[in-house]
Structure 1
Amino acid sequence: MYSLLFEKLKEVVGAVAPLVAVVCILLFVMISAPLAIVAQFLAGSALVIIGMVLLFAGLDIGVLPMGRFIGAELPKLGSIALVIAVGFAMGFATTVAEPDVLVLASQVDATSNGSIREHVVLYVIALGVAIFVGLAMARIIFGFSVRLMLSLAYGTVIALSFFTPVEFVALSYDAGSVTTGVLTAPVVIALAIGLSSVLAGRSAIADGFGLLGFASIGPIIAVMIMGIILA
């Protein structure tokens, strides 16, 4: 346990250190910020490091093994509908809890002065991810062409772009990007790898990856449809 925490601490410090260094240079050299602001930033950075260490350790200890185990055990139940339903539920639940999605939804609410409610944006994005994770589970089971599915999905995005209000077009692409965050990504990938690893003739590399990129198209389409409805 301690070795895992130490390993994650080294990884997080290595990732965060460049950002802290750049900000410190800006605060001391170019902006001449008060010491109170600098101290506040450093204290916040320390809390971020601690939080990230605990988060990544938790993912390695519990979340990733859970996802792979569930993905590998589901086919044994003999129900394709159940596999797809579990993919839908996991996609929805992880997206609702995704920190990046929560930040985006709250910013949309604040920027629109409450005309686009935070919970509406959150659940629309989560629904889009859930539907496409379910479709991705079906692709792994039936062996559908990933090229074909991506082409159809992006073709739908391009077509909807011509009918969606411009502010929702911009929002939709941000909605797609924030769903590939620190919680959704490991759960969805682990679930797909676990599923593909127990299916005959399936490759964990070919089938387990690419799912996240496909799932991120779902919220783009969902937010565009929301924009058309609200327009």
Structure 2
Amino acid sequence: MNLLTILTNLAQTMLSTVTDVIPIAVIIFGFQFAVIRQPVPNIGKVLTGFVWVVVGLTFFLVGLERALFPLGKLMAQQLTDPVFIAGGEALNAVKQAITLSWQDYGWVYLFAFLIGFSTTIAEPSLIAVAIKANQVSGGAIGIWGLRISVALGVAIGISLGCYRIVVGDPIHWYIIAGYVVVVIQTLFAPKLIIPLAYDSGGVTTSTVTVPLVAALGLGLAETVPGRSPLIDGFGLIAFASLFPMMSVMAYAQLSQWYAQRKRPEAAQS
């Protein structure tokens, strides 16, 4: 790939980013001037910020397209390949159509867990939500505590979703059971964390996580015998959205339990 191609791709991505950002700017400035009818404080800084947003998103998207997405797709294809799973007897296993059990996909589950955790930790939308939650709660909600709890939820959810693809279970039973747990947790979790926990499921379905998780699900469904990429390959995003609700509320419940346990010990001392 030559420099001209890179610059052309960069320019096209920047043009697309500007096109995506303009409606947001029009709505914000339109309401500011037409509805609120007040000037924008520090208009120079605001416009400079919009420029940096466009530049940052451009480089971010190009980096994802050129490096992270192809690498993630390649890893998913390699780890779900029966030749890799069958090991040294790969060719014979493929030729004789030996059926692999769900235990043989251990590396897939581990990769799903790690890729789910790492992509969620790097998710820009989650970082933004965690910072705002920390600010409005006066520090009661830790930035890293929220990010790690959401990432653990995504990691567990994607691993379980990969297991579902391998064994071929209907997805709706997992989703129904998951939401039953969420409803039960809602009854006992601290009220401060419940709305944030529900929102945490949505922030995971963003720029970094979705393409890699989708590539993993489709790659797994294409290589597991008897699975349909259309029916079984999709659905991992649902797991990635559901389980962070559980993990964030569980994090809050554990924190509350730990704080209550510490109070009697502090009173005795």
For 1:13-51, what per-residue CA distance to the aligned partner results, in whole angstroms no more than 9, with x for missing partners?
Answer: 2211111223333455521235xx222222211111111
Structure 2 gap segments, 5+ residues each: 1-5, 86-103, 257-269
User: Counterpart of 2:27?
Assistant: 22
Q: Which shows bigger deviation, 200-209 or 145-154? A: 200-209
**Which residues of 2 match residues 101-116 of structure 1 at below 5 A?**
101-116=126-141
User: Counterpart of 2:192?
Assistant: 167
Match of 1:216, SS state, is helix
User: Counterpart of 1:82?
Assistant: 107
The amino acid that maps onto 1:68 is K
Q: What is the Cα-based RMSD across aligned positions, in Å?
A: 1.9
Pairing 1:31–2:56 present: no
For 1:62-106, what per-residue CA distance to the aligned partner results, in whole angstroms no more than 9, with x for missing partners?
Answer: 222222211111133314111101100111111111112122222
Structure 1 gap segments, 5+ residues each: none
Alpha-carbon distance in structure 2 between the residues aligned to 1:7 and 1:47: 17
Q: Which has the higher contact order (CA 8 A, sep 6+)?
A: 1
CA contact (8 A) 2:113 2:159 kept: yes
**Which residues of 2 match residues 7-156 of structure 1 at below 5 A?**
7-29=12-34, 30-33=37-40, 37-76=42-81, 77-78=84-85, 79-156=104-181
User: Counterpart of 2:223?
Assistant: 198
The amino acid that maps onto 1:119 is W
The amino acid that maps onto 2:14 is L
For 1:146-170, what per-residue CA distance to the aligned partner results, in whole angstroms no more than 9, with x for missing partners?
Answer: 1111111111111211111222211
Q: Which shows bigger deviation, 22-31 or 121-130? A: 22-31
The amino acid that maps onto 1:33 is V
Shift of 1:225: 1.4
Alpha-carbon distance in structure 2 between the residues aligned to 1:110 and 1:21: 27
The amino acid that maps onto 1:209 is F
Shift of 1:136: 0.9
Name the count of aligned residue pairs.
229
Alpha-carbon distance in structure 1 between the residues aligned to 2:226 and 2:130: 41
